[in-house]
Amino acid sequence: MATIKKVGFVGTGIMGAPMARNAAQSGFDVTVYNRTPEKATPLKEYGISVAESLAELAKDSDAIITMVSDTPDVLEVIEGPKGIAQHMPAGSTVVDMSTISPSVTAELSGRLAAHDISMLDAPVSGGSWGAEQGSLAIMVGGQDEVFARCLPLLESMGQRITHMGPSGMGQTTKLVNQVLVAGTLSAVAEALVFAAAHHSDLEKTIEAVGSGAAGSWQLSNLGPRMIKGDFAPGFMVKLQQKDLRLVLESAQTRNLHMAVTSLSKEWLDMAETLGASAEGTQAVIKSVEKLAGLVARQS
């Protein structure tokens, strides 16, 4: 398979923009497309071109990365009336780095293969901070030879890239990740509200328990944001909600009872009713605070 040189990006939001920058700074010839063109304009200063249409983006790209919100968005971008699939050259590759349905991913990969377009599902973990630093964890599904061809591109955006197996397994692994993230984050919120109710020093509490068996990325990185009232999004509540919906839908097909995940989604449901949909997932503490009748903040 030919070496990837020209890379297209669809989606230049909180994750896609820094990922595109990192790819460009690693030497790839990057062109981006966003439905709202002005959101992509700042990328020009990094030598990145901005396409006016998906067709323009697709026609010369060796690989196209999609980084959009949900399963219907991915299908529209790739297979819709103005989608990239009908314009991509034979032998090119779609790398979907969104988080979507594993089963839909496998089906989509098969349809693209019929047009001599290969596909990887390569969802990421690490939030906007990982995207900025090029330190994302990337979980990949797809054929071995396609993974090998795309590995240098993936390495421009992440530090831990793991090939999990055939198409759909990257998405399955990302959902495993989200089960762990959501459950841990809910526990962090509950723990900090518990500590606040007992008049603990919250900064010292995080320091004390974070170096022991209770330590986690969520506690170390999002715990301090919770107690400072910093709800700027690294990963938005509404997107975590979408991911947990995918988890629960997939679990239902296998008759799995996901008690912790279901409760975590309930906390996030409440956070959305409190107006936190577009805030970072650390805003889940607002739900715990609401029921406890106190605000856990370090003065």
What's the CA gap between 53 and 205, in Å, rounded?
51
pLDDT tens per residue, range 67-81: 999 999 999 999 999
Among the candidates 146, 167, 188, a domain finishes at: 167
- Note whether residue 187 is domain-resident: yes
Contact 86, 118 (CB under 8 A): no
Q: How many CB atoms lie within 10 A of CB 35?
A: 13
Residues 207 and 130 in one domain: no
53-65 confidence digits (pLDDT tens): 999 999 989 999 9
DSSP state of 232: -
pLDDT band for position 299 (cuts 50, 70, 90): low
CATH code, domain with 110: 3.40.50.720
pTM of the model: 0.94
Give the pLDDT of residue 151: 98
Residue 174 annotated as catalytic: yes
Q: Answer yes or no: do 105 and 49 share one domain.
A: yes
Residues 89, 33 within the same domain: yes
Q: What is the pLDDT of residues 202-214, one digit of tens each?
A: 999 999 999 999 9
Per-residue pLDDT at 1 exceeds 80: no
Q: Is residue 80 part of a domain?
A: yes
Alpha carbon dihedral 142, 145, 146, 147, in 10-degree steps, equals 70
Task: Residue 83: give the domain boundaries.
Answer: 6-167
175 pLDDT exceeds 70?
yes
- Please tell me which residue in 5, 6, 39, 174 is annotated as part of the active site: 174
pLDDT in tens, 248-291: 999 999 999 999 999 999 999 999 999 999 999 999 999 999 99
- For residue 297, being part of any structural domain is answered with no
Do residues 84 and 129 share a domain?
yes
Tell me: the pLDDT tens digits for 207-240?
A: 999 999 999 999 999 999 999 999 999 999 999 9
- Residue 38: band (very low, low, confident or very high) from pLDDT cuts 50, 70, 90: confident
Query: Is the pLDDT at 179 greater than 70, yes or no?
Result: yes
Mean pLDDT across the chain: 96
- Domain presence at residue 24: yes
Q: CA angle, 36 as apex, 234 and 82 as ends, to 5°?
A: 115
- Residue 48 structure tokens: 């990145």
Tokens 């030879």 identify what position?
145
As a whole-number percent, the residues of the chain with pLDDT over 70 amount to 99
My answer on whether 35 and 65 are in the same domain is: yes
Of 185, 179, 175, residue with least CA distance to 217: 185
CATH number (domain holding residue 192): 1.10.1040.10
Is pLDDT above 90 for 147?
yes
The confidence score (pLDDT) of residue 10 equals 97
Closest CA to 223 of 190, 199, 252: 190
181 and 100 within one domain: no
In this structure, is residue 1 part of a structural domain?
Answer: no
CB 175 within 8 A of CB 250: yes
Q: How far apart are CA 111 and CA 116, in angstroms?
A: 9
Same domain, 141 and 17: yes
Q: Do the domain assignments include residue 198?
A: yes
Among 128, 280, 283, which Cα is nearest to 192's?
Answer: 283
Nearest to 183 by CA among 289, 281, 78, 297: 281
Same-domain pairing of 159 and 193:
no
In a domain, 299, yes or no: no
Q: What is the percent of the chain where pLDDT is above 90?
A: 96
The candidate with the shortest Cα–Cα distance to 172, out of 235, 122, 109, 206, is 122
Same domain as 130, residue 19: yes
- The secondary structure element, H or E, covering residue 63 is strand 63-66
The average pLDDT across 122-149 equals 97
Contacts of 84 (CB under 8 A, 6+ apart): 8, 10, 54, 55, 57, 58, 64, 77, 78, 94
Domain end residue (candidates: 137, 167, 197): 167
Question: Among residues 122, 141, 167, which one ends one of the domains?
Answer: 167
* Claim to verify: residue 156 and residue 206 sit in the same structural domain: no
Quote the CA–CA distance of 235 and 277 in Å, as a whole number: 11
pLDDT tens-digit map of 68-118: 999 999 999 999 999 999 999 999 999 999 999 999 999 999 999 999 999
Assigned domain for 283 exists: yes
Say whether both 161 and 56 belong to one domain.
yes
Q: Are residues 178 and 226 in the same domain?
A: yes
Contact (Cβ atoms closer than 8 angstroms) between residue 3 and residue 22: no
* Counted domains in the chain: 2
